[in-house]
Structure 1
Amino acid sequence: MSERSVRNWNKGPLPSEKKDRRRKSTRPDPFAGVWAEEVEPMLEADVDRILAAPTVLEWLDERHPGRFNATHLRTLQRRMRDWRALNGPEREVYFEQKHPPGREAQMDFTHCDSLKVTIGGEPFAHMVFEFILSHSGWRYAQICFSETFMALRSGLQGALWELGAAPEVVRSDNLSAATHKLKDGKGRDFNERYKEILDHYGLKATRTNSYSAHENGVAEQGHRRLKDSIAQALVLRGSADFESVEQYAKFVRSIVDRRNRLIRGEVG
């Protein structure tokens, strides 16, 4: 040790006595007044850990219009993760991909029997068609009963009309409603009827390779998230039984609308 160091240390303080003065955050808590009063009781009641942050944020937005938006989602996810780390096992983590605004939408059908929805007490076997913008996550969902060309056309047109615009590309897997097997047995190609819809709206189309669902990841994740949201909303509703298909369709529509409202100006 040098003489200079000894002299400096004698003047104090010693290195071990120096305190790490870290800056404290001055950002106001966006969940002040609602976390302990409204969110924590909801999480405590959710013993199966079904509720996820997007659904809770939508619920808060309904109760406090204009106070919350999509920018609060990550903060809420961290708060819920930390709370569950102390009070039980945490849920899954999502890793979002990045896509250029306005370029692509993905679409697909998904079976919804796992939701155990009933109409007038009778099991309701159904599917949902989804159209999702890859950049923003804006979505359109429509109840259907099979993966037919009519269901595909109705869903795609409904999505474009509601969006009021069209992306550059629509992507899907090898939907039987949109593709057919080539005579030489070398893969599949788009049906003429589907090509006519694409031409009418000025759309390009891409599709995944066979047995490669991950290549349509936005739609696959979208299905899981929508069904999770419906399952959570059914928990909050207290029943999975509806008086009519129309009532259930309105219920699903309200869930989709809440998600889209949180996106607000980020559509693309």
Structure 2
Amino acid sequence: MKIVRYNHSNRAAWGVVQDERIVPLQGLPDTANFAEVLLAAGQAAGDALDQRPRGLPLLSSVELLPPLTATAMVYCVGINYRAHANEAGRELPPHPSLFIRRQASLVGAHQALEYPQGSTQFDFEGELALVIGRTGRHIAPDEAWRHIAAYTCLNDGSVRDFQKHSVTAGKNFEGSGACGPWLVSTDEVPDPNNLTLVTRLNGQEMQRANTSQLIYPIAQLVSYVSRFARLLPGDVISTGTPEGVGAARTPPVWMKPGDHIEVEIAGIGVLGNPVRGAVSPS
């Protein structure tokens, strides 16, 4: 099951993708929690079998939004691939390294990334992200799978010149990252620890890895975050980026206005975004 959040008459709405069309989750407010979204999505997926496809909006005709509930926390993991640690000149972390992204720093699939004003070092980071479906605290690694509801793609867009003096700033510029295009339920992802991830800039492959190469695999990440935070339905944990980032190249490769960046994960989908010029000060 693929769950999308999209712009419907200038209001955010949720739906389920069926044959390149969207089955709207009727009567579900954008403020709905993720448990409500999951329940409505399951019902809608069943009801869609009885509907005529012509009566449903085309997926290609709507503006996709980040598939995040209003209260979702976005936890991001730093160095979590050995090859990326090597290219960054970093020691392997003794524990997962975490930071938090504001929701406003993320756009949906096909929406434009906002080039960061005052920066010349706008980098890409393709990542697999998981979405929590069940509340939990102090979750054991072997119990983590019961708490995961879905997976998605995330581009942890990074403003490197700001990140050098503040990770929070460098990872949270408005519209600098992306999430989507949808949430894929766990039943459609039989082995999330064996997914190929590819990042392309203007069609050129920049990153290629497999989630089997994670230093801290998915279950350990869920367990670790739950030690200090109560994980709630809708919360996101992005698992980190592999080698090939622009900052580690010679010469460095930065995203710029007019570029197109995409993150593709096997079994999940393709998250593509254009890059637009910096927004004028208001």
TM range (shorter): under 0.3
TM-score (norm 1): 0.27
Max Rg structure: 1
The structure richer in strand per residue is 2
Larger relative contact order (CA 8 Å, sep ≥ 6): 2
The structure richer in helix per residue is 1
